[in-house]
């Protein structure tokens, strides 16, 4: 496997499409031999799951920060 996560043996043009989106990876995988298809799909699913986890974590941090800001703002507003 290359450092980009694309299995060795996937043509460069196909690798670019696969790298762009999960749908692109699924489309490219249909045209590959079985062993490359499985490896590419596993890599694509892992990358997608990792991005979802990262997005959820960032959203949680932002939500918590906003809740703290609103609470402080409301407390100051009601005490005035």
pLDDT for 4:
67
Q: Do 18 and 25 touch, CB atoms closer than 8 A?
A: yes
Among residues 29, 31, 48, the alpha carbon closest in space to that of 39 is found at 29
Coil, helix or strand at residue 31? coil
pLDDT for 3:
45
pLDDT for 80:
66
Q: For the chain (length 80 residues), average pLDDT per consecutive 10?
A: 72 92 94 94 93 98 98 88
């Amino acid at each position: 496997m290359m450092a980009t996560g694309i299995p060795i043996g996937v043509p460069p043009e196909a690798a670019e499409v696969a790298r762009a989106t999960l749908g692109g990876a699924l489309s490219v995988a249909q045209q590959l031999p079985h062993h490359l298809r499985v490896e590419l799909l596993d890599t694509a699913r892992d990358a997608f799951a990792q991005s979802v986890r990262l997005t959820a974590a960032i959203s949680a941090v932002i939500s918590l920060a906003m809740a703290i800001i609103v609470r402080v703002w409301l407390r100051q507003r009601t005490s005035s």
